């Protein structure tokens, strides 16, 4: 199981060339469902939010996903309302690095202040992800929003499940650091590209 978890974490950085698709179908439910999965930056960031939640908040694993999804919806609303956010792509790429590092340093039972600040950072980056998704939407934007919210939630759940599956294992801390480092490395590759 540990080999599978480690392989899954390493696969997160396997396709950095797909960093942000920004092309193809951008209308409707199917496009919304596939966009977060085929954009390596979104994929790594969203799984990492789940990883952090699973490692840092075992009693409230939903908190990171809720913060991200709520802020992503706000970001989409800002885009559709004509509000410009500066350096959207830069902040999305930076989120991959940041979420990887958060995963590396996550500790169960960390202080409420640290958890609160981390959740605020997750929400802040989530708004940029939502803005980018919405900016690319065309046609049936409501179905597209629904699709990318469902896909994002699924990626968060995958990260949570992966974190919880290794959290009690013999090499839990090593696996956690390895997964976080893999995501961070992916973020550095995206920043360099």
Phi–psi pair at 152, nearest 5 degrees: -65, -45
The confidence score (pLDDT) of residue 110 equals 79
Nearest to 39, CA basis, from 24, 25, 18: 18
22 found inside a domain: no
pLDDT higher than threshold 70 for residue 84: yes
99, pLDDT greater than 80: yes
Burial (0-12, 13-18, 19+ Cβ within 10 Å), 85: middle
**Contact assessment for residue 187 and residue 44, using Cβ atoms and an 8 Å cutoff:** yes
How many domains does one find in the chain?
A: 1
Residue span of the structural domain in which 58 resides: 2-7+29-192
- Report, as an integer, the average pLDDT of 154-183: 94
Residues 19-30, mean pLDDT to the nearest whole number:
60
Q: How far is CA 124 from CA 91, 161, 177, in A?
A: 9, 24, 24
pTM of the model: 0.85
142 or 163, higher pLDDT: 163
Q: Is residue 103 domain-resident? A: yes
Is residue 13, in this structure, part of any structural domain at all?
no
Residues in the chain: 193
Give residue-wise pLDDT tens across range 100-128: 999 999 988 778 888 899 999 999 999 99
């Amino acid at each position: 199981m540990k080999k599978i978890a480690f392989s899954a974490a390493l696969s997160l950085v396997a396709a950095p060339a797909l960093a942000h698709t920004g092309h193809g179908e951008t209308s409707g439910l199917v496009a919304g469902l596939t966009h977060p999965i085929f954009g390596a930056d979104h994929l790594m960031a969203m799984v990492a939010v789940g990883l952090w939640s699973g490692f840092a908040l075992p009693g409230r694993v939903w908190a990171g996903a809720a913060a991200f999804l709520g802020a992503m919806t706000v970001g989409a609303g800002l885009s559709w309302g004509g509000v410009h956010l500066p350096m959207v792509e830069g902040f999305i790429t930076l989120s991959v690095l940041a979420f990887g590092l958060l995963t590396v340093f996550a500790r169960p039972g960390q202080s409420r202040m640290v958890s609160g600040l981390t959740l605020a950072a997750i929400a802040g980056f989530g708004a940029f992800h939502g803005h980018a998704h919405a900016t690319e939407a065309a046609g049936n934007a409501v179905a597209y929003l629904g699709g990318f919210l469902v896909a994002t939630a699924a990626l968060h759940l995958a990260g949570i499940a992966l974190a919880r599956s290794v959290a009690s294992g013999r090499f839990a801390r090593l696996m956690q650091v390895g997964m976080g480092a893999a995501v961070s490395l992916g973020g550095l590759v995206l920043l360099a590209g």
